[in-house]
Amino acid sequence: MSLIGGAPHAVQWVKPLVALLAIINPLGIVPFYLALTEGFNAAQRRRTIITCATSSFLVIAISALLGTRILQFFSISLASFQVGAGLLLLITAIGMLNAAPTALRSTPEEMDEASASQSIAVVPLTVPLLTGPATISTVIVYADRNRHWPGLLVLVFYGVVAALVIALCFRAAESIASLVGKTGINIMTRLMGLLIAALSVELMSDGLIKLFPGLGH
């Protein structure tokens, strides 16, 4: 299945972007952003937003351009990686369905350490809260399906879109929090969790069929 080909054509283009934004879920990270930047002045918050957006783009772009080569270097088959990535996504989805960050995203120690050093833009906001293992795994899977430059450049462009969405959400974080409230954010997080759960099942089933062809009959 190709990102830039196949039928329906539009769905193949949109699906990776929807999956990527659902996994990143910047709305769900707004409360963490507000808590971690409490006491920051306008300039400090602006720098934090720019760093988060830029770092997130770099993680996505590097995963798209170099992810499959890393798998080849470690002699990991895509089928095995798909099953592992699917399990990882499923764990993430379960955490989101409970409207809570999973252990794969951050730990109390990471949060405390980052808050103490005020280096929260990259850790934990970008990694692992925004672009953690689940995001990286998803990008690598789609990159393997589209090894030609046009498909890879589309994934890199999706990284730009994701970075802009992150920046916009964080820029309007206080307005979003007051308008939607914690309940609204939790509802959105659960809806994204449902999308990710469906994606995880698709990835695992595809990987298992490749590993065990008999399952496809």
For 56, counting Cβ atoms within 10 Å of its Cβ (0-12 exposed, 13-18 middle, 19+ buried), the class is buried
Task: Please calculate the CA angle 100-104-107 and round it to the nearest 5 degrees.
Answer: 75
Let me know: does 96 contact 28? Beta carbons within 8 Å.
yes
Which is higher by pLDDT, 182 or 142?
142
**Residue 181's pLDDT band (boundaries 50, 70, 90)?**
confident
Share of the chain above pLDDT 90, in %: 42
Judge whether residue 10 has pLDDT over 80. no
Let me know: does 149 contact 8? Beta carbons within 8 Å.
no
In a domain, 5, yes or no: no
Residue 132 phi/psi, 5-degree rounding, is -90, -165
| 51-87 residue pLDDT tens | 999 999 999 999 999 999 998 899 988 889 889 988 9
Range of the domain at 27: 20-34+43-216
In a domain, 113, yes or no: yes
From CA 106, how far away is CA 125, in angstroms rounded? 9
Judge whether residue 50 has pLDDT over 90. yes
Q: What is the mean pLDDT of the chain?
A: 85
What is the DSSP secondary-structure string of the chain?
A: --TTSSSSHHHHHHHHHHHHHHHH-HHHHHHHHHHHTTT--HHHHHHHHHHHHHHHHHHHHHHHHHHHHHHHHTT--HHHHHHHHHHHHHHHHHHHHTTS--TTT--HHHHHHHHHHT-TIIIIIIIIIIS-HHHHHHHHHHHHH--SHHHHHHHHHHHHHHHHHHHHHHHTHHHHHHHHHHHHHHHHHHHHHHHHHHHHHHHHHHHHHHH-GGGG-
Ranked by mean pLDDT, which of 45-49, 85-89, 191-195 comes out on top?
45-49
How many distinct structural domains can be found in the chain?
Answer: 1
Instruction: Please write down the HEC assignment for all residues of 11-51.
Output: HHHHHHHHHHHHHHCHHHHHHHHHHHCCCCCHHHHHHHHHH
From CA 99, how far away is CA 92, in angstroms rounded? 10
**Residue 143's pLDDT band (boundaries 50, 70, 90)?**
very high
In a domain, 12, yes or no: no
In a domain, 64, yes or no: yes
Q: Give the pLDDT of residue 132.
A: 86
| 199-212 residue pLDDT tens | 889 889 988 998 99
In a domain, 11, yes or no: no
Judge whether residue 22 has pLDDT over 90. yes
Share of the chain above pLDDT 70, in %: 85
Q: Give the pLDDT of residue 8.
A: 55
In a domain, 95, yes or no: yes
How many residues appear in the chain?
217
Judge whether residue 43 has pLDDT over 60. yes
In a domain, 103, yes or no: yes
Q: Give the pLDDT of residue 52.
A: 95
Copy the structure tokens of residue 84.
Answer: 């592992």
Judge whether residue 131 has pLDDT over 90. yes
Q: Give the pLDDT of residue 165.
A: 97
In a domain, 48, yes or no: yes
| 118-130 residue pLDDT tens | 478 998 899 888 9
